[in-house]
Structure 1
Amino acid sequence: MTNYKEILRLQSLGINNTRIAEACGCARSTVISTLQYAATRGLTWDLVRDWSEKEVAEKLLPSVAARQTYKMPDYEHVHREMQKSGVTLNLLWLEYCEQCRSAGDLPYKSTQFNKYYADYAHKTMATMHLEHKPGEVMQVDWAGQTAHIVDTDSGEIIKEYLFVAVLPYSGYSYVEAFHDMGQENWIAAHLNTYRQFGGVTRILTPDNLKTGIMKNTEDELVINRTYQEMAEHYGTAIIPARPRSPKDKAAVEGTVGVISTFILAALRNQQFLSLRELNQAVWDRLYEFNHKPFQKKNGNRASAFEEEKLFLLPLPGHPFELATWRIATVQYNYHISVDTQNYSCPYEYIKQKVDVRMTLSTVEILFEGSRIASHPRLNGRPNQYSTLEAHMPPDHQKYVQWNGERFISWAEKVGTNTTSVIRLFLNRYTIEQQGYKSCMALLKLTDKYPPQRLEAACSKAFSFTASPSLKSIQSILRSGQDKLPEQAAEKPSSASEYGFTRGAEYYDRRTTDAD
């Protein structure tokens, strides 16, 4: 036992703390704390000279004094703070130390602080809360066992697959049956889960199935593009379980097993004729599962979820819209063709391969990750065109302000035959705009030839064929064939004029010469 009376005596003699520690066989820190306590209580050697060592120890015993001055943390407050994202025990201990210093109290060391918190958590059955923070993680998977429905037409037994999502903190779960485990149903299951929970967790932990995770190795993680888009839309992070590491998603693995027993086993003798009927039965059993009392603590999963729900991230303003991706090549007409429809993009990307993201309402065109065009999705008859003026080359943009009615109105000023040719050009193509270039070229011929000649050329072209082309009309004008009928009217033609045949006079002259 430390001789505290001797420490005071030696200190009164002016001996330094190191020498006092050596003389009394104790640590230098013990000497310092003893002298600090003595100074606090106004104890000096002259005062305790006649006291016994026991009396001095009772006044100055460091262990007793320490226990009296250590500030016990408010572990109820600590536990509440630990449920918040990013909060650690070390951070709370530092805050606790700062509060103690401000109040003049002596704080516990971090090891004792952590030990007392672990004791508190054990007594309040809060060990699960130590592993998972509320609103932090949602774990998802397909159940190994399947449900079944009966086809009403053939009587065939059809497999239905159960999607399971669980919040590890509260144990609250969502289950839904789907026809298959494809990507469309995989995304739909997540959307339905978020809607049911009324919020989003910060982390999403799936298994390594291909509809979610393309590749997951020690060196590389490749997430399915649509799945990643969904996560970005809802503001959550996808952190998949490590391959062959079921402990990474122990909560959902355990819930899958429990649900297989609690739900599927209970429904094994029932017959369902539709997916909707099956899901209604599943949700009825799921309600009982979530409201089933805990065995070792008060409440149930539903009541624990009410506490956790406050920590979920809010849902976005509109639900995620499932998109499909394609690869297309920009053609020379600066359009891509997807699902028999055509969409324009800037002409600078002609012959480039682009990514196409398609939803029910929108088509987006991306080049090297950057969006270069967006269109409302075309539906209905095939081979429609969605064209933006800004995507056209400069020499094509001048035709944008034109339309069929304007071309016909211009042609009517030339003549009926010209108007008929213009109508033919406009109706020749599935898309009217595709005929604008020919219409413009035809009518611009009036800059070089009189309108009367253009009208005559069109009439001449119709005499050759019921479907004349721009090239044939241009040839008629260049050769002057449009003027031939007028020349014939002024001066009747004869075969001898052109020297094609020899007339009677020729033969009469030959006979005379012979004579």
Structure 2
Amino acid sequence: MKSLNEQLWQLCLNYRATHKVAGRNQSVSELYAIEKEYLNPIPRFRFDTSKTVYAKVDDFSIVRYEKNNYSVPTRYIRKEVTIKGYADEVFILYEGKPIATYQRSYGSGNTQYRLEHYIDLLERKSRAVFNAKPVRDNITKELLDWGKILPGGNKEMVKLLRLCLDYGEDKILSIKRSIPSHIIPTVDIVRSCLNEPLETPVIYLNQDIEVLETDLTKYDRKFGVVK
């Protein structure tokens, strides 16, 4: 859509610069330069071209728009939100603040889940983590299979998902692949690999500090030290 809009924009510019209306000697651009002196200023706000509706978030943290479903963070369950649908995007807002953005789906009955919308709930109720649609629809089979062999079970899997959200699944999997095959890559091992040592700051001085040599002979004389 963005590429198509750019092509259309360029065609309009070329038309304005070269096209001449029948019966006129000037181009569209030249005529516009004359006409714009009589035009009123455009509004200071952007015209909203969206189709806006209001919907209540259901108990699964889902809202429905144009026959398709979109998830929002679970803290908005049973609250009313504003949904703005544009040609290729869907914006979901609560009290005027954006809480989720999606590529618009033009199918029917599709549901788009975001794992980050459910992670807080999973941290409190980890029992369903392996069967939850927001999990299965958003992670790779490799990560899912890894989670099933973690010593801590469901709770450790949720911790692993949190690391994926914080650092990216690709990075977490790359750490897992670097661990020797005879070692089960636990969450604690992954965390230790993520804790990179901090660089020690180096302080540069403009000039050397002069250190005066201490005369210790007076102490020798005081305590009767003979050399």
TM > 0.5: no
TM-score (norm: length of structure 1): 0.19
Name the larger-Rg structure. Answer: 1
Larger RCO, structure (CA 8 Å, separation 6 or more): 2
